Structure 1
């Protein structure tokens, strides 16, 4: 059969048949007296074989390998197809997610769409500086999808870029809370830490509830971030954790200041004094801990912690006694 007849019978264009010939996929085994391509019945079967493989999604390169490599088994072909299909589906899911995020932002014009697409491309950069620029370039008049920022933050390992993302999320109000909340249940503690730090910068009852729940996290850093955030909101559940930070000497100065601010609230001083006194009783032989607790007592307003400081001025450890005496001479905290 000549190439035109093969094209009519197979449904494959003459141009494609010539392309197959140039690639070595299907070469006509004969030539007419006039030099025209002449296809045999076996050549026709090979054309249908190629077309069948193309219908499965294989590239021409993969088809050539399948036809020419005797070691290439049907199982190898199926595995290649699975990998190729998985990659394609992943790309399509990514595109679908991007489109949904653009749609969720309720764009009112092309400028809005282009800005959000630009942001998504920037966040996907391998360069941290480029990711930071893409976040900081957010225009005030373009509503950036908060879940896009939340997802980016939860996977962002660079602290500077993460800070920019927290800033951008805080500007969206509570729109990003749901996305950040999912991060609190991640297996990776680093993700949970980033989620808590971002939630700390968003005010509201919902974030307070999420931060309170994070106090029960297995990771100490997550608990500390949550306690510090809740301390700024004067949430009583944070008090034991803030006192624990003073005891441990981790963020102890910040924790002591928050305890002092908490004690300044109506009725707040008594529970703080009791918590600090209890910690002193629990660590009778550790002067470093007792000195830090004394420093926390100094942060309390008026005379709230002075009775305990007077007791510490007579402490068996000379260093503790001298520090407490020095604090007493400074007078009460102005708060």
Structure 2
């Protein structure tokens, strides 16, 4: 986790750290907005560190916005380091921010979290991977993501399907393989994702249920 140097307790970074830790979320939100508006690269460490512990969704979103306002050469290395944190939220929020920045330098580190045991981290990694995958590596990413098909609840499955569909036609070979898998849940999820690829506005739940029935009883049932 990023550790902020606040040796100079009266300096601007120390003041930002204190303001971002204010008791009221509205105060923290205003601070994040002000820091992002100022866009001083010196604030990057404080912003990244706060992302890992901030309890309020809207404040976290503003922290991400503030980080996106800073030069990528400053923020991306800090965010990549944060991916090794023991704190689940720190990893998840760093991935979320990297997905907004879209810098391919993060690809190797992001890929290591595609199968994180914490769903929030894994789902954030899927979205980030789609955003930072280098040109030409999309089929490999699709094959890697496809190994997660059939697992988890509807929200998890929908997140994975959306990530796969975002890869465009590069996902089709991996889905074809998964649609013939021995596991009926993998087949069902793969078929639902194929339908989503063909019609992004289709109802995912209906597609999954239909695919599961087909997987269980055969196409002519």
What is the TM-score with the length of structure 2 in the denominator? 0.70
Residue 96 of structure 1 aligns to a residue whose secondary structure is coil
**Structure label with greater radius of gyration:** 1
Pairing of 1:1-335 with structure 2 (within 5 A): 95-97=6-8, 119-138=16-35, 140-141=37-38, 143-144=40-41, 145-174=43-72, 175-215=74-114, 217-233=116-132, 235-248=138-151, 249-264=154-169, 268=170, 272-286=171-185, 289-300=186-197, 315=214, 317-318=216-217, 321=219
Q: Structure 2: which 5+ residue stretches go unaligned?
A: 200-210
Q: State how far apart, in whole Å, the 2-side matches of 1:240 and 1:197 are.
A: 22
Output one character per residue of 1:272-330: Cα deviation in whole Å (capped at 9) or x when no partner: 334223333334444xx54432221123459xxxxxxxxx8x95635x7389xxxxxxx
Q: Which has the higher contact order (CA 8 A, sep 6+)?
A: 2
Q: State how far apart, in whole Å, the 1-side matches of 2:107 and 2:113 are.
A: 10
Q: State how far apart, in whole Å, the 1-side matches of 2:71 and 2:159 are.
A: 26
Output one character per residue of 1:243-287: Cα deviation in whole Å (capped at 9) or x when no partner: 3454224443343344334233xxx2xxx334223333334444x
Aligned residues: 198
What is the TM-score with the length of structure 1 in the denominator? 0.49
Residue 77 of structure 2 aligns to a residue whose secondary structure is helix
Q: Contact between 1:243 and 1:275, CA under 8 Å: does it hold in 2? A: yes
Q: State how far apart, in whole Å, the 2-side matches of 1:129 and 1:189 are.
A: 24
The alignment's C-alpha RMSD in Å is 3.4
Output one character per residue of 1:46-103: Cα deviation in whole Å (capped at 9) or x when no partner: xxxxxxxxxxxxxxxxxxxxxxxxxxxxxxxxxxxxxxxxxxxxxxx9751556xx5x
Q: State how far apart, in whole Å, the 1-side matches of 2:44 and 2:132 are.
A: 24
Q: Structure 1: which 5+ residue stretches go unaligned?
A: 1-92, 103-112, 303-311, 324-335
- Structure 1 position 169, deviation (Å): 0.5
